[in-house]
A and B are shown apart, each in its own frame.
Chain A
Amino acid sequence: MMVDAVAKPPRQPGALKRFIERYPFVPALVIMLVLLALNGIWQPRSVSLVGITGLIKTYMALMLLAVAQTYVVYAGDIDLSAGAIVSLVNVVIVAIMAAMGDSGASVFTAMAAGLAVGLACGIVNGLVVAAFRLQAIVATFATSIFFTGLALWVMPVAGTPAPATFWRTYGGRILEIPFVFWAAIVLAVILYVLSRTRHSLQLLAVGDDAQGAYQSGLRVTAIRIRGYAFCGLFAALAAFCITGDTASGDPLVGGKMTLYSVAAVVLGGTALAGGYGTVVGSVFGALIIGLINSLVYFVGTPSEWQNLVQGLAILVALVAGILIGRRARA
């Protein structure tokens, strides 16, 4: 530990090290594949097309919310209101669809409104954290209380059903291929395009060294607000998936997802301090959480022990991921 202040001798990093440094999601990918194999050993059906479809259908929302969280973590911020945004968008779109009836137009109107709500929430967070310069962790907790209040105002109790068009599409197939796979492909394309634009790079630059980014001419405040705006938009997409999966409105549905989204980001190899990471890692991180949950079930853990074993496994995965990632970058 004492060596921190002393210059290290230059060292030629190994090929593997450089590989992991270039692709920080690789440890997460390996952990995910191992978990997938373990799932397959204990329950062969879980790696069938039906099993994988079910896994993606259930965890698509967490994948999207993890992606949402990643964009703010890139810049060294955090969003503890992400789950509350999911709840709010969920009740807003269900309320609109309930009011407009079961039709395509109703679904599209609701989704447009949902994206607008998510974007607005994200911008509010961005303004509060970046423009008013409040501390992200407490400020987004305060906005999460506000968003939850709004969700309760829109729909005081859970249970309003979503129209059949919506959840049948989400759970159905297009051209014999499950809808969620199409959604996953579209998501992959969007994430790839976004990762090639300046947006990701600017967020990472701010997270790596905000002062340096500022001095090299980046508009740090605007960039951080944009990070939160992305977060709100992807949280809205996560809300669509939750709604497709649960087929109903619930003003508290997303609350528990916030901390899981943070865990997924960390599992994916992104540094919470900002400046280093990938969105695809966060997607793997969300799947790791899903695969841990299903594996604990498949190995026959008694139901009352499942939460504890899941909690322990996620803690071990978090610690292992950080230790591996650090070793690779050291």
Chain B
Amino acid sequence: MTQVPEMLKNPIFVALALIVLLLFAGEMLSPGFASPTQIMRLLIVAALLGIVAAGQNLVILGGREGIDLSVGGVVSLAAIIAGNLMDGQNAGIPLAILGCIAAGAIIGLINGVGVTLMRIPPLVMTLGMLGVLQGLLVVIRQGIPSGRAAPGLSQFVTKPILLGLPGIIWLWVLIGLFLAFLLSRTVYGHRIYAIGSNEQAARMAGVPVAAIRISLFALSGVFASIAGICLIGYSGSSFANVGEQYMLPSIIAVVFGGTLLAGGKGGYTGTMAGAMMLTVLQGILTTVNIDESGRQMIFGATLLLLMLFYGRGKAMRA
């Protein structure tokens, strides 16, 4: 076996290379796929997934089987709350943002408290929370209409505002820069890696493990709610369980970005590339003219194939 070049082991490089390759393949299959307008559309969709994956990424980095299955429910909930608080009026935007972020933070806090203080496994806690949120959505939907996005918000998400790029992409870039700074340059960021790679050692070193883990879940709720607000800006109005499509893809984006599900290793830059890659792949599959069944089979098989590049477990050795 020849030595694998170091570059091919870098998940960010692999993801970017695959994105270029996929765009190229898409252009071959259907001319116009890689046109600037199309790429912009894909970027907007990727930004929605990427923002959800930001919170997912933090929770996963924090270790102890960290995972947040409730993000999809939070996205749906935020979309409907935002729709109603705005109801098509620009004046309602600040209140909508505030309300959604508060709701997301509270849900995340409850998840975090369950996971840390009551020591419920994250998968179980957030799975239970997902069930509660789905029930809550049914209640909310019975009482009030789904609401509409304010024109200002729709413009922010879909229309270019600066250098030809829409606001949501700038928002995504800002989140990316913020998280890159947070994870690599702040004490808080270093502590996330510390509790993710060796919680016991971190605790001995005086890291407030529980507080940090609770804050990670709260941030996950906040990021999911931001995505929910942007989602209603993108689609105009919300429909039942719009957020469900983000639950597991947000985890896959994190994995494709090179973050270990075991925690303690990885970062958000790769996740952004992972979200972009997933979106381009789905974009190609919706462009080519095949049945839904064939599309799903190809999507599933491609995901499996791509996973072979990332963080495979170690073989057993005696």
Interface residues of A (CB under 8 A from B): 1-2, 4-5, 78, 80, 128, 132-135, 137-139, 141-153, 156, 210-211, 214-215, 220-221, 259, 262-263, 266, 272-273, 304-312, 314-315, 318-319, 322-323, 326
Contacts and interface: CB of A to CB of B under 8 A. Distances in A.
Interface stretch (B35-43, B187-195, B229-237, B292-300): B292-300
Given A142-B307, A149-B295, A308-B132, 13 more contacts: A133-B313, A143-B304, A149-B292, A220-B316, A266-B121, A304-B138, A304-B141, A305-B135, A310-B135, A311-B136, A318-B120, A318-B125, A318-B127
B252 A132 contact: no
Contact of A145 (B114, B132, B255, B296): B296
Contacts of A137: 67, 251, 261
A121 to B, nearest CB: 12
A298 B313 CA distance: 48
Nearest to A150: B297
Interface of B: 65, 67, 69, 114, 118-121, 123-125, 127-136, 138-139, 141-143, 200, 203-204, 248, 251-252, 255, 261, 291-301, 303-304, 307-308, 311-316, 318
Contact of B300 (A1, A78, A144, A214): A144
Contact of A1 (B136, B143, B203): B203
6 shortest interchain CB distances as A-B pairs: A149-B296, A146-B300, A308-B135, A315-B128, A149-B297, A145-B300
Contact of B316 (A145, A221, A312): A221
Contact of A326 (B119, B142, B252, B311): B119
A135 B261 contact: yes
Contacts of B132: 308, 311-312, 315
A149 B293 contact: yes
Contacts of A145: 296-297, 299-300, 303
The listed residue with most A CB atoms (<10 A of its CB), out of B118, B132, B204, is B132
Contact of B139 (A149, A151, A152, A305): A305
Which secondary structure characterizes the binding site on chain B?
Answer: helix
A161 to B, nearest CB: 21
Contact of B252 (A138, A308, A322): A138
Contacts of A133: 312-315
A142 B136 contact: no
A307 B135 contact: yes
A299 to B, nearest CB: 15
Contacts of B296: 145-146, 148-149, 152
Contacts of A150: 293, 297
B119 to A, nearest CB: 7
A272 B121 contact: yes
Contacts of B316: 210-211, 214, 220-221
A307 B140 CA distance: 11
Nearest to A81: B300
B248 A80 contact: yes
A259 B126 CA distance: 11
Contacts of A135: 255, 261, 307, 311, 313
B118 A319 contact: yes
A52 B128 CA distance: 26
A311 B292 contact: no
A248 to B, nearest CB: 19
B307 A318 contact: no
A308 B138 contact: yes
A138 B139 contact: no
Nearest to A84: B300
A215 B317 CA distance: 8
A315 B121 CA distance: 12
A308 B128 CA distance: 11
Nearest to B128: A315
A147 B315 CA distance: 27
